[in-house]
């Protein structure tokens, strides 16, 4: 059964949350596809993942670089799975892919300050829960730690 995790971003931007999720996925031996809503956003995330930390980086590429199948993390705007990923991360209202049930885990990051994004996340939660997905909701506490709320 596919786990569907909803991350309600309020106090932290995608750039501060995404690297940790990617690191934990790689530690578990999972390949990851990160889907954004625009090529510009893919480019910005691509640059960020190389420089987000002074003492390391996340090995990744984009689906445009011709080596997507070899990368443990691939950034894209498409609904495909070019590296055979078990995990898919959706940012900035990127839609669930048609083959959502094929993933072990899908992480939906949404901006809690954007009413439309919040409403879309609620609809997706209800629909996917009714379809049998294992859904959970995560919210960042004031201390910076993520807490499971549902």
Q: Which CATH architecture has domain 3-148?
A: 3-Layer(aba) Sandwich (3.40)
Domain ranges of the chain: 3-148
**Of the candidates 67, 61, 90, the residue with the CA atom closest to the CA atom of residue 78:** 90
Nearest by Cα to 87 from 18, 41, 147: 18
Give the model confidence (pLDDT) of 56-87 as tens digits: 789 999 999 889 999 999 999 999 999 999 99
* Contact in structure between 100 and 106 (CB atoms under 8 Å): yes
Instruction: Give the span between the Cα atoms of 111 and 52, in whole angstroms.
Output: 20
Query: Is pLDDT of 143 > 80?
Result: no
Pick from 16-25, 65-74, 113-122, 136-145: least confident: 136-145
Q: Find the distance separating the first CA and the last CA of the chain, reported in whole Å.
A: 17
**9-18 confidence digits (pLDDT tens):** 987 889 989 9
């Amino acid at each position: 059964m596919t786990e569907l995790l909803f991350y309600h971003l309020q106090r932290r931007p995608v750039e501060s949350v995404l690297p940790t999720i990617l690191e934990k996925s790689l530690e578990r031996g999972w390949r990851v596809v990160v889907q954004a809503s625009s090529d510009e956003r893919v480019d910005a995330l691509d640059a960020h993942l190389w420089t987000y930390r002074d003492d390391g980086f996340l090995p990744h590429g984009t689906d445009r670089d011709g080596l997507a199948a070899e990368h443990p993390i691939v950034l894209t705007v498409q609904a495909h799975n070019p590296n055979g990923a078990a995990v898919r991360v959706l940012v900035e209202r990127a839609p669930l892919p048609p083959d959502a049930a094929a993933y072990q885990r899908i992480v939906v990051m949404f901006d809690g300050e954007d009413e439309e994004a919040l409403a879309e996340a609620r609809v997706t939660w209800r629909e996917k829960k009714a379809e049998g997905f294992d859904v959970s909701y995560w919210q960042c506490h004031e201390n910076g730690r993520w807490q499971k709320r549902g």
